[in-house]
Chains A and B, each alone.
Chain A
């Protein structure tokens, strides 16, 4: 039921964003990237934050289910981080005439990709479920400290080519109402998609663990 609703919601949101919402003067047709780029960046923070929460829960309770959530959320956070980077890069080429400019936000997201790429490398390098879960949880909890700093603080300290944040220092969202509705709808839709992906990935991680414990060949034909 909710999946059908998500299908309808995202389809209508996309059509509205492309045909009903106006273009931002100066950005013209590239305005459409906004409906994918910002939700992806938002969900990367949500995913990495969710990973940190479950890492702390694992360290407190030592239940392996929290490690499943932490690993799945970090993978998805990293995936959405890549989507935000690629979509931002395409946008940068259209607006700033270069795919990569080492703008503070670009530099920040580059470091986040490195930090969480290392998290996944760490997970794959450690033998033993309990040891992997414990060390990964410590790393994830410590790594997330850098995320608010890199995502929200650095771009505000240094000069940035990026436009002002959506919510300006006066606490107002300065957007055309139709763009705001389209953007909000896409943000909700992307968040629903994220929740679905997270639930699927957690279940897959559990199945893989059960298979390993049963001595079956890991992987499979999913």
Chain B
């Protein structure tokens, strides 16, 4: 079970990093579109 939780933790971390990277990218694109 603990190995399972480690994999879940890694998957969640990867998902959160991807999500916040995409949010940052979205903001940057909006800025560029405004120019």
Contacts and interface: CB of A to CB of B under 8 A. Distances in A.
Given A200-B25, A203-B33, A222-B25, A29 B4 contact: yes
Nearest to A199: B26
Contacts, number: 44
B10 to A, nearest CB: 11
Given A18-B4, A207-B33, A11 B28 contact: no
A86 interface: no
B5, B15, B33 pick with most chain A CB within 10 angstroms = B15
A200 B19 contact: no
Interface of A is mostly: helix
A222 B21 CA distance: 11
Given A19-B4, A200-B22, 18 more contacts: A3-B19, A6-B19, A10-B15, A14-B11, A14-B12, A15-B8, A18-B4, A18-B5, A18-B7, A18-B11, A19-B8, A32-B7, A36-B11, A197-B22, A200-B26, A200-B29, A204-B29, A222-B25
30 contacts: A3-B23, A3-B26, A7-B19, A11-B12, A11-B15, A14-B11, A14-B12, A14-B15, A15-B8, A15-B12, A18-B5, A18-B7, A19-B8, A29-B4, A32-B4, A32-B7, A36-B11, A196-B22, A197-B22, A200-B22, A200-B25, A200-B29, A203-B29, A203-B33, A204-B29, A207-B29, A207-B32, A207-B33, A222-B25, A222-B28
Contacts of B26: 3, 200
Contacts of B32: 207, 220
Interface residues of A, number: 20
Give the size category of B's interface with A. 10 to 19
Contacts of A207: 29, 32-33
B34 to A, nearest CB: 11
Nearest to A32: B7
